[in-house]
Amino acid sequence: MSEKDAPIELCLEVLLRLEKAGVLRGLVLIGSWCAYFYPDYFGGKPALSALRTRDIDFLIPAPSKMKGEVRVAELLEDLGFIPDRMGEGYVRLSHPELIIDFLVAERGKGTDKPVAVKALGVKAQALRFVGFLSEDTVEVKSRGLTLTLPHPVNFGLQKLIIGGRRSDKDKRAKDLLQAIEILHIVLERGEGEEIRRKFKKLPAGWRKAIRDGLKATDADDLKALLA
């Protein structure tokens, strides 16, 4: 299965079950699937060109806002998802067409150990840079669901950070494409100052990573905005 064929209906079924279990409102959907739902936030903007990948990534903010409690592996078992314990000790749910990862923000250097999430019955992976995605979020209503996504500016800036650090050229190109598309929509809405404001609040190292990521693009307007 190619990335462009990533199954929408299976993704939606996963989201629906998490909502019925009472835990979806406490999760932030991050990663490439945001590009599928952002057009609803932007009022019907044409679909973004970036591809939907097999990975569905959920960020668990700290402190957790989940009201329910469920063993998510059992919740999705009949759909064909199988718990897959990774070498670092965190658990992902694997399916021939989709992979579900639960993530938490790494808290300081050397604190990247998996974190037990009682509300879901899993151990989540700790990653750098993802905490920025839950600092400012938006609610998006789509397909009868209410989803929590990173604010588009946070999403775009974070994609520039990680895209610029990628060694895989294809993944780098995809991250940068998503970042530029999202941030250009924000610019078109007359909200360029919001991009600049959030950029200036970031640590110096993150700002440098964003500028480095922009160097690989032809987004001269964004380069000038964040110069």
- Is residue 218's pLDDT more than 80? yes
Looking at the fold, whether 168 and 197 belong to one and the same domain comes out as yes
Which H or E run includes 145? strand 145-150
Same domain flag for 218 and 181: yes
Q: Which amino acid is at 118?
A: K
| Whether residue 190 sits in one domain with residue 124 | no
Q: Do 118 and 165 lie in a common domain?
A: no
**pLDDT confidence of residue 69:** 83
Tokens encoding 201: 């609040």
The verdict on 86 and 23 lying in the same domain is yes
Kindly indicate the confidence band of residue 226, based on its pLDDT and cuts at 50, 70 and 90: very high
Residues 85 and 118 in one domain: yes
Nearest C-alpha neighbor of 164 from the set 207, 198, 135? 207
Average pLDDT score over residue span 67-86:
91
**What pLDDT, on a 0 to 100 scale, did the predictor assign at position 4?**
46
Query: Are 10 and 95 a contacting pair, CB within 8 Å?
Result: yes
Backbone phi, psi, residue 94, to 5°: -110, 140
User: Does residue 89 sit in the same domain as residue 25?
Assistant: yes
Yes or no: say if 117 and 64 are a contact pair by the CB < 8 Å rule: yes
Tens digits of per-residue pLDDT, 104-140? 998 766 566 888 898 899 999 999 899 999 999 999 9
What is this structure's pTM? 0.89
Across 65-84, average pLDDT: 90
Amino acid at position 85, single letter: R
d(CA 167, CA 152): 25
CB 99 within 8 A of CB 81: no
Enumerate residues 6+ apart whose C-beta is below 8 A from 63.
Answer: none
- Is 50 exceeded by the pLDDT of residue 1? no
In this prediction, residue 51 carries a pLDDT of 57
User: What distance, in Å, lies between the first and last C-alpha atoms of the chain?
Assistant: 41
Among the three residues 97, 119, 150, which one is the final residue of a domain in this structure? 150
Residues 167 and 145 placed together within one structural domain of the fold = no
Residue 151 confidence (pLDDT) above 60: yes
Three-state SS for 46? coil
> Can you spell out the DSSP letters for 202-225?
S-HHHHHHHHHHHHTS--HHHHHH
Q: Which pLDDT score, from 0 to 100, does residue 74 have?
A: 96
Q: Same domain, yes or no, for 120 and 156?
A: no
pLDDT in tens, 4-63: 456 889 999 999 999 999 999 999 999 889 988 999 999 876 667 655 678 899 999 977
Instruction: Report the CATH number that the domain containing residue 67 is assigned in CATH.
Output: 3.30.460
- Which pLDDT score, from 0 to 100, does residue 220 have? 94
**What is the per-residue pLDDT for 189?**
92
Pure H helices in the chain: 8-20, 34-41, 72-75, 152-165, 169-188, 192-200, 204-215, 220-225
- Domain residues for the domain of 44 are 1-130+137-150
Average pLDDT over residues 72-82: 96
Do both 85 and 197 map to the same domain?
no
Mean pLDDT of 64-75: 86
Residues 19 and 120 in one domain: yes
Q: What is the pLDDT of residues 165-212, one digit of tens each?
A: 777 788 888 888 889 999 999 999 999 999 999 999 999 999 999 999
Mark whether 143 and 160 lie in a shared domain: no
Number of domains in the chain: 2
